[in-house]
Structure 1
Amino acid sequence: MSYFQLILTLIFSAGSGVTWQLYTLEKEASLRGIAAVDENVCWVGGSNSVLAKTTDGGSSWQYYDLVKAPDAEFRDIQAFGPDTVIVMSAGEGDKSKIFKTTDGGNTWRTVLENKFPKGFFNGIAFWNSREGILTGDPIDGKLFVMTTADAGESWQRVTNLPDVVENEYGFAASGSHITVQGDHVWIGTGGTVARIFHSADKGANWEVVNTPMLQGEPSLGIFSMAVSHSGMGLAVGGDYTDEEGMGDKNLIYSQDNGSTWNVYEGHSMPFRSAVRFVNDMILITGPSGSEYSGDNGRSWMKVNGMGFHTLDVGNNGVVWAAGSGGRIGKMKID
């Protein structure tokens, strides 16, 4: 156990030492896209075409005008250090786009634009600085999936996926219903069913796995996933129309790299929209609050402060989160 992990364990065990250091953007936005670089640099994006970056730990924020439309939704961000960043906008038709900068946001290019009238981008993830994957709502009975091998400069559609069930789709809620680890990728769905599409070879071949996550209605399903180096997987979600309602199927886990999924017996959790591993710890958040676990999800403790829509982990284990009202949090250890 590292010194950082030991301090986290002791403080969390005390039950009152971990909170969020809060910042608020000057521009109104519901923030759902985030990319944490380190304790000083973080990008956030959301509604009302708001995209912002801090380079001084949250004290000040610089804003970027990527589109002319006032109602763009920036739902996912991938940062490769402070200068190279990829931003995904979501929305039906040509509102779904991928933008890229290589000079810290001074100039931007549109590197991908959705061409399907009913298409809708949901999230992106990258295995490394060049190879990445994008997912969107189903087109012609299959999840819309594209991959890139040149850092987002060009994208190729993947078509050999299992069919979706009618009214099955992904949620562009926190940019994390898709996650990668090693050569693997997992995509969580919701709606009629809550399943996980899995590839062990960077999207070349696929399987689909059923899960016990809350499902069966348009607002139900998997909203975020994370898988550790050891093959431990967590998925969170539930019903986004009932943010504080407790449920025993809002949190599921896997111990075999996502091959099978189970619920924690006798455990209940509100709707949660984001999950991330932080060293040996797990953090989850949602609009009504955040929790931490140091024992692979068997028990949870509240993190002081309000909840968020999304979170990300930067270098040295620093955690950034973003949510409604332009609110941004950074993990503060007293």
Structure 2
Amino acid sequence: MMSMGKTRQKSTRARRLVAALGLAGAVLALAPAVPAGATPVGTAPAGAREPAPGAWQLTTTGTDARFRGLAPVSRSVAWAAGSKGTVLRTADGGQSWRNVSPAGVGELEFRDVEAFDARRAVVLAIGEGEASRVLRTEDGGQTWTESFRNTDPRAFYDCMTFFDHRHGLAMGDPVDGKFRILSTGDGGRSWRVLPDAGMPAARPGEAGFAASGQCLVSSGPKDVWLATGGGPAGRVLHSADRGLTWTATETTIPAGDGAKGVFGLAFRDRRHGLAVGGDYRPDQASPRAAAVTGDGGRGWTASATPPSAYRSGVAWLPQAKSTALAVGPTGTDLTTDGGRTWRTVDTGSYDTVSCTADGACWASGEKGRIARSVVR
């Protein structure tokens, strides 16, 4: 049982982050660029002052890759995976980044990364046929091993999630009318396609969005949720047995064509979840772009005041029961009431966001953008 002292400390930290994010605009600290390579690719100047608590601090990555895959481990350690086969890792809170990209995969499009610590990580490349692959490292990215290559030309993988250091899933768009699920029980060293007998039929045009690494998310040892779009309505599928059987529920987020639906999910426990999405086309409006659930995804309620535009990534703040961030190409939104209302707190472009238990949130996106926000 958590002591009252620790509870008060965590609540205070959450309030401080909320106050900082409520400032008009984020404080961005830009460090000078350093050439990429096997050495640090971005380094903050000595003696540089950190920004106000909770404000995004944009780091220098030394690359223009787009990072839709993000896996922070702590305030200090984070991994990012993106276009042109690029994988970066930091061990000093983003003051410097190392280019740890696998050799000879510049044609691959990494859209998700799951990291266990500073040395072990798994990355997912998307695409039709053999473009969909999984690679794994156990030495901080010095060497990589390909553990899965899709050989079915009909399959296209989008996202992955891990329940613990051993058990994980990856999801792909429908094949023969059902979403395809890969499973691993050894930390990503090997994968198998799960039987689809417990998977509901996909609707015409329905698929997942490989936009933020958050179309498949988990909470606890067995619960996992899958986000969809493209069909008649944005849906969320839930499994309570690590992907063997699923139930599907419509959300309030509109779909109807291949550009609209649910893009990102976040669950702070097996009951309380957030969904974000909309229409990713910049010239199209995205009404009702967020929804909330308090029953594990069996029912979804539209946010009374949703984000003002399409959002692809969402994350609960550490040790906060009602505070979360949502990000997209036009900015960052904050909720302090569990997703019922949102307000824009930053206008920088990000595709995905994730927070760590020790009080840090990270965001990444286009043109090499990776930022961090810390609660002191």
Q: TM-score, normalised by structure 1?
A: 0.94
Among 93, 103, 118, the alignment partner of 1:57 is 93
Do the aligned residues in 1 keep the contact of 2:235 with 2:248 (CA within 8 Å)? yes
Q: C-alpha deviations, 1:134-177, integer Å up to 9, x for none?
A: 00111111111111111112222121211111110000000001
Task: Please state whether the residue corresponding to 1:9 is helix, strand or coil.
Answer: helix
CA RMSD of aligned residues (A): 1.9
1:306 to 340, 348, 358: 348
* Bigger RCO of structures 1 and 2 (CA < 8 A, at least 6 apart): 1
| Residues 1:199 and 2:239 aligned together | yes
Aligned 1:154-193 pairs, distance under 5 A? 154-158=190-194, 159-160=196-197, 161-182=199-220, 183-193=222-232
Q: Which deviations, in whole Å up to 9, do the C-alpha atoms of 1:247-297 show, x marking residues without a partner?
A: 432101111111011212354531000111122121111111111222112
Judged with a 3 Å threshold, the aligned counterparts in structure 2 of structure 1 residues 291 and 84 are, in CA distance, closer, same or farther, namely: same
Mind listing any 5+ residue stretches in structure 2 that lack a counterpart? Answer: 1-6, 24-51
Distance 1:135 1:230 in 2: 19
SS at match of 1:191: coil
CA contact (8 A) 2:273 2:294 kept: yes
**Quick one: structure 1 residues 121 and 63, their matched pair in 2 at CA, closer, same or farther if it must change by over 3 Å?**
same
Instruction: Report sequence identity in percent.
Output: 34
Rounded Cα–Cα distance in structure 1 between residues aligned with 2:306 and 2:8 = 29
| Counterpart residue identity of residue 8, structure 1 | A
Which of 238, 248, 259 is the matching residue for 1:219? 259
1:317 deviation in Å?
A: 2.4
Read off the aligned partner of 1:289 and give its amino acid letter: G
Asked if 1:38 is matched to 2:74, the reply is: yes
Query: Shift of residue 10 of structure 1?
Result: 4.2
How big is the shift at 1:303? Answer: 2.9
Q: Tell me the CA shift for residue 333 of structure 1.
A: 5.0
Contact 2:305 2:341 in 1 (8 A): no
Is the 8 Å Cα contact of residues 248 and 263 (structure 1) preserved in structure 2?
Answer: no
Q: Is the 8 A contact 1:31 1:309 kept in 2?
A: yes
CA distance in structure 2 between the partners assigned to 1:69 and 1:106 by the alignment: 14
Residue of structure 1 in register with 2:39 after alignment = none
Runs ≥4 residues deviating over 4 A? none
User: CA separation of 1:209/1:67 partners in 2, compared to 1, >3 Å: closer, same or farther?
Assistant: farther
Residues 111-120 or 6-15, more deviating: 6-15
State the partner residue of 1:296: 338
Q: Which of 85, 101, 107 is the matching residue for 1:71?
A: 107
| Cα distance in 1 for residues equivalent to 2:270 and 2:171 | 25
- Which stretch shows the higher mean deviation, 159-168 or 8-17? 8-17
Per-residue CA deviations over 1:10-68 (Å, capped at 9, x if unaligned) read 45347316320001321221110011011111111111121111112112211123252
| Partner AA of 2:310 in structure 1 | F
Count of equivalent residues: 333
User: What secondary structure is seen at the aligned counterpart in 2 of 1:211?
Assistant: strand
Residue 329 (structure 1) shift: 0.5
Please identify, of 281-290 and 291-300, the stretch whose mean Cα deviation from structure 2 is larger. 291-300
Offset at residue 302 of structure 1 (A): 3.0
Specify the SS of the correspondent of 1:331: strand
TM-score normalised by L of structure 2:
0.84
> Compared with structure 1, are the counterparts of its residues 225 and 267 closer, same or farther at alpha carbon in structure 2 (3 Å cutoff)?
closer
What residue number does 1:6 align with? 12
Deviation at 1:188, TM superposition (A): 0.6
Letter of the aligned partner of 2:18 in structure 1? F
Residue 324 of structure 1 aligns to a residue whose secondary structure is: coil
> Equivalent residue for 1:322?
364
Label 1:333 to 1:80 Cα distance change in 2 as closer, same or farther (>3 A).
closer
1:83 deviates by 1.1
In the alignment, what sits opposite 1:252?
A: 291
Which residue of 2 is the match for residue 273 of structure 1?
312
One-letter identity of the residue aligned with 1:44: A
- The answer to which structure has the higher strand fraction is 1
| Structure 2 residue 329 is the aligned partner of structure 1 residue 287 | yes
